[in-house]
Amino acid sequence: MTGAGSTRASAFGARPAGPRRARMERSPQWRRGRFENPQPLRNDLRLALRDAFARSAHATPAARVPTAPVDPAQLATPAPGGLRVTWLGHSTQLLEVDGVRVLVDPVWGERASPFTALGPRRFYAPLVALADLPPLDAVLVSHDHYDHLDLPTVRALLALPGFTAPFIVPLGVGAHLEAWGVPPERVVELDWWERAGIRGVEVVATPARHASGRGLRRNQTLWSGFALLGPRRRAWYSGDTGLFPGLADIGARLGPFDLAMVEAGAYGRAWPDWHIGPEQAVQASRLVRAALLVPVHWGLFNLAFHGWTEPPERVLAAAREHGQAVALPRPGERVEPGVHAPAEPWWPRLPWRSAKEDPIVSTFAAAAAQGSP
């Protein structure tokens, strides 16, 4: 097959087979022919269809999103305190821990979709060219959904002169990468709690409560968060997850963390366990014992029914209520704990309803108020 049809087909990735599949089947997370969470995911299609008619009028920006200019020279300068994250929208981040620089869930493509003309479209163009990024020590991908694993971005990275960084991914995701041209020796696949070392920094795949799949068949690859443990600094990225008891275990085994990047957007009461939501993002950061929270998974794509500025508004309210330090960078802005941690609203002031006022998302406030998963 050639032309556009070939591009669409390849975007779906490849199904794990051979030794890769055999290793997956040995995982404690593999049951009944697929990966499963210890706790099931609740879904209510009827409720989702009903809530779709209550979609916020502000689900997408009506004007240009206020972004921050990205200075490639600053990105290439080591973080003075050994820890820095530059948020590039949604879950895409450039993270530096004790001199090790990783690109997290990179999406430079136009849509979170296998198609060029269908699917959620980004609110603004990429804020920095891939070619202008400093040398990378690794690329981390939390799971294979289209808003986290992007074929155009992977191909663009492979085309960069001198790009030799490994891809660190959960079990099975390497099948997609190898089908797209990533050399097998540069694919590192991890099960939950497994580790990979990068110049003195350990990368640990942490449990998450989510799902995977780029086609009709789900959960043939694993999903995870990532902890980065350096000699001096520690950071944790949640990946996509719902609230679950294992978050406290992550904090006990790997924390405390100086910084946590936790997904806070794309939530809905019809899928309460898939994405954690604002109030529970604050709760998750406390469970893993994070000193500073940066909410991610918002501000680039419209993937749910709430207003696009609602996640940070509600995170800020919950953080103030619970005494959790939070940083709210503009897309493109850096966060350096102890050096630069912007916490003031920069987004337009749009109508939004608190968890108590909004029946679509009241599930999250109730769970957060209970104080435990």
Task: Return the pLDDT at 48.
Answer: 84
In terms of Cβ atoms closer than 10 Å to its own Cβ (0-12, 13-18, 19+), residue 41 is middle
Task: Return the pLDDT at 7.
Answer: 44
CA distance 61 to 355: 21
pLDDT of 132 higher than 50: yes
| 256 upstream amide cis, omega within 30 of 0 | yes
CA distance 165 to 158: 9
Task: Return the pLDDT at 214.
Answer: 95
Contact (CB, 8 A) for 119 and 62: no
Residues 6+ apart with CB under 8 A from 232: 82, 98
In terms of Cα–Cα distance, which of 267, 237, 239, 270 is closest to 254? 237
Task: Bin 102: left if φ > 0, else alpha if -120 < ψ < 50, else beta.
Answer: beta
Task: Return the pLDDT at 360.
Answer: 41
Task: Return the pLDDT at 45.
Answer: 85
Residues 6+ apart with CB under 8 A from 281: 238, 262, 263, 264, 293, 295, 315, 318
Could you tell me the domains of the chain?
Answer: 3-370 (3.60.15.10)
Of residues 143 and 268, more confidently modeled? 143
**What is the three-class DSSP state of 84?**
strand
pLDDT, tens only, 280-318: 999 999 999 999 999 999 999 999 999 999 999 999 999
126 phi/psi in degrees, rounded to 5: -55, 140
pLDDT, tens only, 72-93: 999 999 999 999 999 999 999 9
Residues 6+ apart with CB under 8 A from 318: 278, 279, 281, 282, 283, 324, 368
- What's the pTM? 0.92
The pair of structure tokens assigned to 26 is 């040995």
**What is the three-class DSSP state of 143?**
coil
Task: Return the pLDDT at 352.
Answer: 65
Note every long-range contact of 31-34, with CB atoms under 8 Å and residues 24 or more positions apart, other chains counting.
34/218, 34/219, 34/220
Contact (CB, 8 A) for 108 and 160: no
What percent of the chain is predicted at pLDDT more than 70? 92
Name the residue type at position 303.
Answer: L
